[in-house]
């Protein structure tokens, strides 16, 4: 076992904690259904709890925010920019197909993000096949249920490790 010197300890303590923000759009507060992949009954709190545990294992602070209101999601994205968030995982839900304003907020803050959808949006109604976010996202995960959030988090954590944090 190696001991840290006082200088090493001070340096370690002064490193800012990396942060991942998970955003959930409208109606995801109603999530209480069977996950198509695992078959388990899920709630948004379950999804957040699993993600938070995994992020904590890597020393990363994970925050979740859900709103049914577009302006609140935009405000949260803008705040993430000033708070120094390192990565965003977003399920824009119904705003995927309608919100240029939320897309603009994500582009303006410049925080890399992954777009996640529980269901396969390409297997649904024709109007759901278009996303205002996919072309700006560093990745898109669709149709893998709650596992999609975990995969997005693993990707985010790998990106944060690769960036030297």
Ligand-binding site membership of 86 (annotated): no
* CB neighbour list of residue 17: distance below 8 Å, 6 or more residues apart: 59, 60, 61
Count Cα atoms within 13 angstroms, Cβ side, for 82. 5
Catalytic choice (24, 48, 69, 117): 117
Which residues pair with residue 23 across a beta bridge?
65, 90
122 included as an active-site residue: no
Ligand-binding site membership of 18 (annotated): no
How far is C-alpha 161 from the chain's CA centre? 16
| DSSP single-letter state for residue 131 | -
Q: Cα separation of 141 and 154, whole Å?
A: 12
Ligand-binding site membership of 104 (annotated): yes
Ligand-binding site membership of 48 (annotated): no
- Binding site per annotation, positions for substrate: 91, 97, 104, 128
- Binding site per annotation, positions: 91, 97, 104, 128
Q: Which residues are catalytic?
A: 117
């Amino acid at each position: 076992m190696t001991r840290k010197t006082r200088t090493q300890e001070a340096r370690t303590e002064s490193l800012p904690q990396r942060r991942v923000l998970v955003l959930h759009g409208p109606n995801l507060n109603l999530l209480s259904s069977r996950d198509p992949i695992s078959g388990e009954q899920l709630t948004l709190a379950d999804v957040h709890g699993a993600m938070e545990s995994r992020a904590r294992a890597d020393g990363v602070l994970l925050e979740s925010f859900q709103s049914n209101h577009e302006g609140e999601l935009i405000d949260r994205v803008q705040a993430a920019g000033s708070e120094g968030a390192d990565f965003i995982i977003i399920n824009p839900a119904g705003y995927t197909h309608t919100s240029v304003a939320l897309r603009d907020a994500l582009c303006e803050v410049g925080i890399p993000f992954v777009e996640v959808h529980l269901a396969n949006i390409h297997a649904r109604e024709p109007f759901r096949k278009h996303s205002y976010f996919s072309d700006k996202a560093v990745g898109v995960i669709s149709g893998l249920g709650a596992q999609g959030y975990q995969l997005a988090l693993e990707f985010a954590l790998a990106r944060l490790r690769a960036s030297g944090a």
